[in-house]
Amino acid sequence: MRVCILGPSRSGTTSLMNYVSFSLNLKCIVEPYNEELYDKHNLDSSEEYRNWEQPKTVVKHLYTQIPNDTQSKFVRSSRKLVCC
């Protein structure tokens, strides 16, 4: 199962992601399009991007970070979609 959580910043999406991950035993992917997050923690964003499309994940996206051409992909690729 793949769960996608979409929402604005400071709206509780991280807490929701953690709850869903724990409850359903899914891997968490946090804001794969947040370049500042990857720079700060020295993460490879291309690897993270591939991971969110894999099964058994819950991914949290902020509305402001999603490229326009990617938004419709979330609906098609996620089993469950939660918008906050």
Please, what are the domains in the chain? 2-83 (3.40.50.300)
Q: Is 29 within 8 Å of 58 (Cβ atoms)? A: yes
In the predicted structure, residue 46 carries a pLDDT above the cut 70: no
pLDDT at 36 over 80: no
Q: Which residue has the higher pLDDT, 73 or 45?
A: 73
Q: What is the pLDDT of residue 17?
A: 93
Pull the structure tokens for residue 75. Answer: 């609906």
Neighbouring residues of 13: CB distance < 8 A, sequence distance ≥ 6: 5, 6, 7, 60, 62, 84
**pLDDT at residue 37 above 90?**
no
Q: What CA–CA distances, in Å, run from 59 to 16, 22, 25?
A: 10, 13, 13
